[in-house]
Each structure stands twice: as structure tokens, then as C-alpha cells.
């Protein structure tokens, strides 16, 4: 059995996605900017995908810009909007993905860039945010769901603080880990931009989107033929867009991810006993995403357990896939003030709608076997 529990890194495309992409590449390969009938059909596929995204987010389909993924969408929102501003404050949360943190940090010198800290559960501290929001705040960046801890951010409360203290500030949400897994209403919340990625929802890699509210204005970061309303030039990735549309349409909205995650949580707690720690919110709480569980089985170091599990074809992570090869403690866990020894044992399990109880039981059995042996060799 292959037990893949790293779905926050990427997901396996469904058969419907692969079929849609194959059909588009072999039969619907026409350039959507051309004027003849088959090309117009390609353009209709783009329109259908914009409409599907907009329905999920309660947004305007005309304000959906296709990108190469979540990273480009975040960069377009941050650099594209701030290039129209001169000075002021930019805020981002302490555990943001590098796709948000790095662009924000690069604005230092031109803008007053500040981090919003987390509490011990990995959730934004609203009391500190309230102090940081000033009349000259230009941009607030926050992820919908933290990719490592699974903490769900209080978007409603953040938007309310923005509306009261600095209503002109743009609110950008990195929704890569939340899209299709948790509902969000951009219109009701007053979210000004939202980034998403196809390969996190069983779609293809290389496709994503930036969805903008009516107030958001961005300058293009890529110039050329003027595609995507001149905001993202270059011939559209029609196979990727076809795959993204198929992924949205096929995504199982009624699923038991939370039940499967909680079952895994109980198994792991039994295995490690008093040495078990959760790195994030209470897994059963509303502020915990249904698909991510980050925990430590002290004293076994995470990379040791990962290598042991790989031999069983059980695949998990010790942090974000974008930084897992870097030999340093997770910035997310550091922002949560997780003790070093506990952070060194942290493992992220991330499931999907297709993950079964049988798979997580198999993973837990393998972990139990390895843990009994490895805990004897604690590094001092």
C-alpha cells in the first residue's frame, strides 16, 4: 500500500482532470485569442473556469486572472498593488508562506513592513493587529489556512478591524490551503484579493489564479500581448485551465476529511502518550482546518521518522514542501513559540477527500513500530 499523507504539498490529479487536459491538448489546442470558431471554443473554456472560481468565492468572474500558480498570484497582488502606492505600512502574518513573506520583506525601505504575530495555536493575534493598523496602512496579507499548522485565520475579524481602523487598506488572502476545503465569501468579508492554486485541489501544477474584488487595482508584472486584461501577458495555459475547471467541478464537497484526521490524531496520541504534542489548534476545533495535523512524537526527530516511514511507502512532511530541504527550524513553529525539542520532532500530516481510514491506520501502525524502536536513541 502507498500511503500518501502530504496533500498540502501537492495532490494527485483525478482521472477527470487528466482526461480534460488530454482532450484540450489534442483537440482543443487552439489559441483562445484567435477569432475562428475552434479558438472561440477555447475562450469559452476559460470563461467557464472563471465562472466556476467566482461561484466558489462569491466574486466577479471578470476579476479572475489566471496565473502559473499561487506564488505568482501572491506576487501579482503584492507587487502589483503596492507599485501604485508611495509609502505607508504593509502587514503580513508571522507564519506566511514565502510566496507572501518574501515579496513583503522586499518592500522594506519603501514601506513600513511589519509582522503580525501568532498565538500559541498559530492564529493571528488580533490584539496586536489592532495596534499595528494605522491610518496609512496600505496592505494586509493573511493566509486563509496555515500550510504547516492547519490553523484557520479569523478573516472576518481581521476584515472588521481593517474596516474600522484603516478602511482604505487592501486585504489580500493567500487561499492556497483553503480553496475548496473551507468556504469563503469575498464579497461579504470585503476581501480585496485571493490567491489559489490548482495542484492543491487535485488539479494540475502550473495553474492558479488571482481573484480581485472591485477595489483592487494592480499594475501588470508581465508585459506582452495583453492577455488577461493586460494584467498577465502570454498565451493562456489552456490545458492547465481545463484541468483546473475539471478539478473544481469534481471536488468532493461532502467528504469525511475531518473525521479521518481526528482518527489519525487519536491513534498518534495513543502511540506517543505523554510525549505527544499538537503543534497548532485543537484538531477538533473550528479554528483547525479539516485536512492538516501537525504534531510531535518526542523525542524522535522528524527527519528520522520520515526516512523510516519512507521504507513503508508512507509519505509525510516535516514542514512546508517549499522549504523542507533547508536545515532550519520551521519559521511557523518558531512564530508559535514551540519549544525547540518539540519542533525538531514535528511532522505534518495532510489528507485529502480520498484518504481512507484504512490508509491512516496503516500509517499509524508503521509509526507505532518505528516509534518504539527510535525513541530509545534520543539524541542528547
pLDDT at 65 over 80: yes
Question: How many domains, in total, are found in the chain?
Answer: 2
Write the CATH number for 140.
3.40.640.10
Of 141, 295, 322, 366, the catalytic one is: 322
Write the CATH number for 293.
3.90.1150.10
Measure the CA–CA gap between 118 and 274, rounded to whole angstroms. Answer: 25
For residue 40, how many C-alpha atoms fall within 13 Å in the half-sphere facing its CB?
3
pLDDT of residue 241: 98
User: Do residues 232 and 307 both lie within one domain?
Assistant: no
User: Do residues 114 and 176 both lie within one domain?
Assistant: yes
Mean pLDDT of the chain: 95
User: Do residues 121 and 81 both lie within one domain?
Assistant: yes
Instruction: Classify residue 83 by its DSSP letter.
Output: T
Mean pLDDT over 109-137 rounds to: 97
pLDDT of residue 222: 86
For residue 294, how many C-alpha atoms fall within 13 Å in the half-sphere facing its CB?
29
Q: Helix H segments across 133-256?
A: 155-165, 186-189, 238-250
> Residues 201-223: pLDDT tens digits?
999 999 999 999 999 999 988 88
User: 189-203, 249-263, 312-326, 361-375: lowest mean pLDDT where?
Assistant: 312-326
User: Do residues 195 and 53 both lie within one domain?
Assistant: yes
Mean pLDDT over 34-40 rounds to: 84
Q: Which of 192, 221, 250 is where one domain is finished? A: 250
Quick one: pLDDT band at residue 327, thresholds 50, 70, 90? Answer: low
User: Do residues 141 and 56 both lie within one domain?
Assistant: yes
User: Do residues 217 and 123 both lie within one domain?
Assistant: yes
Measure the CA–CA gap between 244 and 46, rounded to whole angstroms. Answer: 10
pLDDT at 320 over 90: no
User: Do residues 225 and 262 both lie within one domain?
Assistant: no
User: Do residues 164 and 310 both lie within one domain?
Assistant: no
* 322 a catalytic residue: yes
User: Do residues 23 and 144 both lie within one domain?
Assistant: yes
Show the domain range for 346.
3-11+254-377
User: Do residues 33 and 159 both lie within one domain?
Assistant: yes
Amino acid at each position: 500500500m502507498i500511503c500518501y499523507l502530504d496533500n498540502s504539498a501537492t495532490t494527485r490529479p483525478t482521472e477527470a482532470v487528466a482526461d480534460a487536459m488530454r482532450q484540450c491538448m489534442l483537440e482543443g489546442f487552439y489559441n483562445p485569442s484567435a477569432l475562428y470558431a475552434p479558438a472561440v471554443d477555447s475562450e469559452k473554456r476559460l470563461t467557464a473556469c472563471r465562472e466556476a472560481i467566482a461561484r466558489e468565492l462569491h466574486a466577479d468572474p471578470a476579476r479572475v486572472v489566471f496565473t502559473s500558480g499561487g506564488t505568482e498570484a501572491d506576487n501579482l497582488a503584492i507587487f502589483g498593488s503596492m507599485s501604485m502606492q508611495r509609502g505607508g505600512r504593509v502587514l503580513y502574518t508571522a507564519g506566511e508562506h514565502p510566496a507572501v513573506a518574501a515579496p513583503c520583506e522586499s518592500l522594506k525601505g519603501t514601506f513600513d513592513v511589519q509582522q503580525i504575530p501568532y498565538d500559541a495555536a498559530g492564529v493571528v493575534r488580533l490584539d496586536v493587529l489592532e495596534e499595528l493598523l494605522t491610518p496609512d496602512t496600505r496592505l494586509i496579507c493573511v493566509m486563509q489556512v496555515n500550510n504547516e499548522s492547519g490553523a484557520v485565520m479569523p478573516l472576518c475579524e481581521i476584515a472588521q478591524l481593517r474596516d474600522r481602523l484603516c478602511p482604505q487598506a487592501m486585504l489580500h488572502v493567500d487561499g492556497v490551503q483553503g480553496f475548496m476545503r473551507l468556504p469563503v465569501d469575498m464579497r461579504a468579508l470585503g476581501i480585496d484579493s485571493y490567491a489559489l492554486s490548482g495542484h492543491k485541489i487535485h488539479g494540475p501544477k502550473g495553474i492558479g489564479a488571482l481573484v480581485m474584488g472591485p477595489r483592487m487595482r494592480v499594475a501588470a508584472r508581465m508585459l506582452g500581448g495583453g492577455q488577461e486584461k493586460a494584467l498577465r501577458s502570454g498565451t493562456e495555459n489552456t490545458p492547465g485551465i481545463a484541468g483546473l475547471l475539471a478539478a473544481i467541478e469534481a471536488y468532493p464537497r461532502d467528504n469525511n476529511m475531518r473525521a479521518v484526521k481526528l482518527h489519525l490524531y487519536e491513534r498518534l496520541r495513543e502511540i506517543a502518550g505523554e510525549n505527544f504534542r499538537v503543534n497548532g489548534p485543537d484538531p477538533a476545533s473550528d479554528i483547525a482546518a479539516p485536512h492538516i495535523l501537525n504534531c510531535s512524537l518526542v523525542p524522535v526527530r522528524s527527519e528520522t521518522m520520515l526516512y523510516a516511514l519512507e521504507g513503508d511507502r508512507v509519505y509525510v512532511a516535516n514542514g512546508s514542501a517549499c522549504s523542507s530541504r533547508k536545515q532550519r527550524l520551521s519559521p511557523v513553529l518558531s512564530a508559535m513559540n514551540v519549544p525547540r525539542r518539540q519542533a525538531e520532532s514535528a511532522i505534518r500530516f495532510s489528507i485529502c477527500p480520498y484518504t481512507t481510514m484504512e490508509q491512516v491506520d496503516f500509517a499509524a501502525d508503521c509509526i507505532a513500530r518505528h516509534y518504539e524502536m527510535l525513541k530509545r536513541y534520543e539524541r542528547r
